[in-house]
Structure 1
């Protein structure tokens, strides 16, 4: 499979040289950025982004009174600058990043804010076109290469009027800008196949969000999970891209090393929702020294100031609280705060006469599902966990079943064995659909990230997921059936065999759809595994084999049995085996089931079906019910995806 036939990374139209700091820099004539010309997105440039008196209020869980988790936070960032949002746990930096990026601040919160781009308020739709958000966790498909990850980001994110040559140029430019040329064709990495390093994954995550040439980039803990060397490496690349391309970068960061801290231009330090410092990183130590809190020698200034505003682990909590109140009040009354307010006012007074961005042509919505299917097929082809291991597992189960129920003779002593084999073939195979949970959770994580950035919605995701899975499930069905059906000596007619294939295929489709529903509602592996296993155990109990449907009590029969996809599969397979087949009664001609063929020392298969209360002319209805159940699972899963943002 050659997933990227459109371009060759070796044939780059960009020439690269080393800048003074050792990082690659563009030497071609595209001065607006190494990853594409912004003119295709809008005709204006973003010079500034301001926020004024941002306040977020929630109801306190204990007192039930209003509680401010952000209180009158103001600031600004200009083109080419990187500002760090810092503070101890619970300081409000994550909420602040959400507010600034246009996301929901937190649940059930009242938000007061004034956000302006180039001094002017713009619509959320246009703001999303000029901004991008990089999540804390790397939501990447491990089975794709670095190059393919950026390729599909471009396919999903870029408007359809962007020429193909420019798409290629942006991918090549980003790969070079982030020092990923050697890793371009390396896999991101799966649990089985080793891929690129953690720092390189972070660079890929950032690069994939820069494919649209955003003007404002939000980073949620970009160095989370990385050691100090990898953290510095990642932020160095981000800093160079921001400077070279005049990006505005706002990043929440926990406690960077000294070298990483110095890569930021500005710092917004929060504690208990209030500003403690907002200004140049180079001036923070002097500011605290002037207040009587000098940074000790050989101490990381980032670590020192975080400790200064953190009251959670202080031995003397009252003293720490007084110190924090002093720092917060000092900032509110400082000349620095007044200068920021004046600067925000100046930017607002110089606002453009039009919105900061022009409307752009959207990506073709009809192409999104096809792009997702293409990407998923590559993943399924390479990631053995997704379907490779499952195919091998089902083949082994087919051999097991075929050799355990080997060449059963059509006699009455084997009627129960045939029935047991049908239950094993239908119920146990659907139970093994739990193996799909890890793969779906990976896909869902990527969907959550891409949906938050406005690339596509739940409908495209659900359609592509179904289209990708159906062919593989059909392959599994054929492989299992060809081996097990004939080895076990089920009804040896073509019609019965294809009836078995049809119902087993619908069985696997329903089982996988159930996994999608449950994992969408409970996107935690252990929880999804437990709930799926319980659901399949329930379906096996009420499916009609353990207790015939006519003997089930009304409670289980009317809500569980009739909604159980396994019960309809069991009926379909039973009819396929017994409808047109006869079984010998053995020596003494003592037939276990009364039938019109008893005088011939035979049992008509229809007599077996009568014991279960199954008709022989309802297979079309059962197929329709199964399709309805599959559609129902998918629609409920779709509704859950719409309701859940994370």
Structure 2
């Protein structure tokens, strides 16, 4: 038994790390904050001493054999405050699944059995989310925000203003920027596909800092060094190590093939293969353990690389031998003294039961109110909307171009009967293609949804806050688009030249865009994939065009499409409203024939005057006047229905 192993066996006694007496506590918060000479912020964790887990088993159904199998099999371990632990193993060994179980996140597994305890006690899910944070493998950051704004919004979403005042929040943000070496990039954008921002390593640090701003006691990270070179990887892990030391933070990170210098930054290692444990304990004792197993780590060799090659059964010239070796190493671990020490340390921590966490934290932590969360999300969306041209800037340009094209193609139509069909075509084009081009909103909402998933799983807010804030931020922009489009196209095409007719047109166009964007939100919430969402939104709008009443008149539309799709097709109500707005207000001239007669395309009571009433045109479609209030109500119901459906999808979907 090595000295490190002995220290590990006595872990519970060592877990009680007391703060220096010079540090002072700020009343009203769940944190003790000290600003030292170097500008660092110390978050003293007096509540969480350790995180233990045992008997963690995750069962799934194999896609090929349809048989149940364990992708995580009887895992156990213990990490104490101030330590950083690495979960390591070949791809597909169950690292991320185990991390999700420890973080109390969904795994989409057939069954999960586990005993994950904080300070030797079970903690309610709501409390666990209050004391923990999870950093995703992908950088789910809003590219159009600056580094400082990212931290600021994270703080405002996580902490009630009565607990953390504005000055305290700014102080905490400044301290984190200093601690993570980001002060020089504080006012730099994260970066979008169009605008260059900070580097990959800096994004990782921002991702971690945005979780630390919520002052968690336990931090989980999924592949924090993925996609980074060895220098950037060392930089990220070194920051995590220093933050854990200073703040008595428990850090658990899955990692794949770190460099030697990065590997040695970790305090503890959990090595996995085929879902089973091969080693858990101090990184400094890894060499001793495998030397005892008669597989010593060669000198001048990256130990992490050596261990991964040894337990990998996917890429080998002799799969049978590799499998036997892995099984032998796993059995060697189960029969080792170190494994016994791990078990004894876990049981000792459970029996010790330091203190109950839930009651204390329930009193300490106060989340923002729902209205406060909606206001913060609305503010963040506003900043994003005017900086990120993808959200609304490109769409404004697209719709302006569409208005110019429509106004110049259908230029200065008149009230002769030959222009009745062009008028009808222009109305269809203006309404249908405006809603069709809402597909441009898909990438913007995809980013919002990814951010929502991350923040929702960290317990910050729910689907209600996202849907309400997303709807509200779109209202002024969509109205602006409706006005710009109408000011250009309406007068160029010479629709009914009255103020009331113009604003009625604007209203229908506005409702059209609200419904179209709500449809985008629904499909993108249901299928968070750019290509799938784009295809479904395009298909739905194509269907609405087909059954909306223009291509096939409602009076002769196929019964199936009429009763299954036609009446809840928002394009149908917009087209009908615009047709009534145009043709119920005007009279059209019939064609003159030689000899003084008239040839009218539509028969009406004005035929003897060589004119056509607009109602005669509406009769061909089965449209009547006097139903605008009802039709507007139906449109609003469709908009609300799409939003409620999106809310239900986000509420029921687990990721």
- TM-score normalised per structure 2: 0.91
Q: CA RMSD in A?
A: 1.7
Flag the 1:36–1:629 CA change in 2: closer, same or farther, 3 A.
Answer: farther
1:491 aligned onto 2:496: yes
Question: Which residue matches 1:603?
Answer: 612
Question: Which residue matches 1:129?
Answer: 130
- Please point out which of 368, 374, 377 is paired with 2:382: 377
Deviations 1:213-254 (A, max 9, x none): 111100011011212221111111111111111111000111
Question: Which residue matches 2:140?
Answer: 139
Q: Secondary structure at the match of 1:114?
A: strand
- 2:277 and 2:330 in contact (8 A); partners too: yes
Question: Which residue matches 1:630?
Answer: 639
- 1:36 and 1:166 in contact (8 A); partners too: no
Question: Which residue matches 1:5?
Answer: none
Q: Secondary structure at the match of 1:314?
A: coil
- 1:477 and 1:501 in contact (8 A); partners too: yes
- 1:36 and 1:170 in contact (8 A); partners too: no
Which whole-Å CA distance do the structure 2 matches of 1:222 and 1:486 have between them?
56
For structure 1, the residue ranges without an aligned partner over 5 or more in a row are: 1-25
- 2:273 and 2:311 in contact (8 A); partners too: yes
Deviations 1:434-490 (A, max 9, x none): 000000000000000000000000011000000001110000000000110001000
- 1:87 and 1:269 in contact (8 A); partners too: yes
- Please point out which of 622, 645, 649 is paired with 1:613: 622
- 1:95 and 1:106 in contact (8 A); partners too: no
Which whole-Å CA distance do the structure 1 matches of 2:170 and 2:439 have between them?
39
Deviation at residue 618 of structure 1 after TM alignment? 1.0
- TM-score normalised per structure 1: 0.93
Deviation at residue 122 of structure 1 after TM alignment? 2.0
Question: Which residue matches 1:13?
Answer: none
Which whole-Å CA distance do the structure 1 matches of 2:387 and 2:62 have between them?
49
- Please point out which of 224, 239, 261 is paired with 1:222: 224
Which whole-Å CA distance do the structure 2 matches of 1:544 and 1:50 have between them?
64
1:429 aligned onto 2:431: no
Q: Secondary structure at the match of 1:268?
A: strand
Q: Is the deviation greater in 63-72 or in 238-247? A: 63-72
Q: Is the deviation greater in 340-349 or in 416-425? A: 340-349
Deviation at residue 539 of structure 1 after TM alignment? 0.6
Deviations 1:39-84 (A, max 9, x none): 8xxxx42121111222223344455544222222111111111000
Deviation at residue 106 of structure 1 after TM alignment? 3.4
- 1:158 and 1:211 in contact (8 A); partners too: no
Flag the 1:366–1:133 CA change in 2: closer, same or farther, 3 A.
Answer: same
Question: Which residue matches 2:256?
Answer: 254
Deviation at residue 159 of structure 1 after TM alignment? 2.8
Deviation at residue 27 of structure 1 after TM alignment? 8.3
Q: Is the deviation greater in 232-241 or in 322-331? A: 232-241
Question: Which residue matches 1:480?
Answer: 485
Deviation at residue 38 of structure 1 after TM alignment? 5.3
Question: Which residue matches 2:158?
Answer: 157
- Please point out which of 71, 84, 87 is paired with 1:85: 87
Deviation at residue 587 of structure 1 after TM alignment? 2.4
- 1:58 and 1:110 in contact (8 A); partners too: no
Which whole-Å CA distance do the structure 1 matches of 2:335 and 2:528 have between them?
47
Deviations 1:68-104 (A, max 9, x none): 2222211111111100001112211111111111112
Q: Is the deviation greater in 200-209 or in 255-264? A: 255-264
The equivalences for 1:146-225 within 5 A come to: 146-160=147-161, 161-225=163-227
- 1:36 and 1:213 in contact (8 A); partners too: no
Question: Which residue matches 1:532?
Answer: 537
Q: Is the deviation greater in 151-160 or in 290-299? A: 290-299
- Please point out which of 401, 404, 410 is paired with 2:409: 404
The equivalences for 1:29-48 within 5 A come to: 29=36, 34-35=40-41, 37=43, 44-48=46-50
Deviations 1:237-296 (A, max 9, x none): 111111111111000111111121111111000111211011111221232222122223
Q: Is the deviation greater in 86-95 or in 342-351? A: 342-351
The equivalences for 1:347-358 within 5 A come to: 347-355=349-357, 357-358=360-361
Deviation at residue 347 of structure 1 after TM alignment? 1.8
Q: Secondary structure at the match of 1:587?
A: strand
Count the aligned residue pairs: 615
Q: Secondary structure at the match of 2:213?
A: coil
Flag the 1:535–1:105 CA change in 2: closer, same or farther, 3 A.
Answer: closer
Q: Is the deviation greater in 596-605 or in 181-190? A: 596-605
Which whole-Å CA distance do the structure 2 matches of 1:62 and 1:580 have between them?
66
1:28 aligned onto 2:35: yes
Deviation at residue 604 of structure 1 after TM alignment? 0.8
Q: Secondary structure at the match of 2:252?
A: strand
Which whole-Å CA distance do the structure 2 matches of 1:268 and 1:185 have between them?
38
Deviations 1:565-609 (A, max 9, x none): 001100000011000201111322211111111122111111100
Which whole-Å CA distance do the structure 1 matches of 2:427 and 2:443 have between them?
28
Which whole-Å CA distance do the structure 1 matches of 2:54 and 2:489 have between them?
69
Flag the 1:27–1:368 CA change in 2: closer, same or farther, 3 A.
Answer: closer
The equivalences for 1:430-579 within 5 A come to: 430-579=435-584
Question: Which residue matches 1:12?
Answer: none
Q: Secondary structure at the match of 2:370?
A: coil
Deviation at residue 128 of structure 1 after TM alignment? 1.4
- 2:177 and 2:186 in contact (8 A); partners too: yes
Which whole-Å CA distance do the structure 2 matches of 1:282 and 1:546 have between them?
75
- 1:35 and 1:211 in contact (8 A); partners too: no
- Please point out which of 386, 391, 395 is paired with 2:391: 386
Which whole-Å CA distance do the structure 1 matches of 2:583 and 2:85 have between them?
73
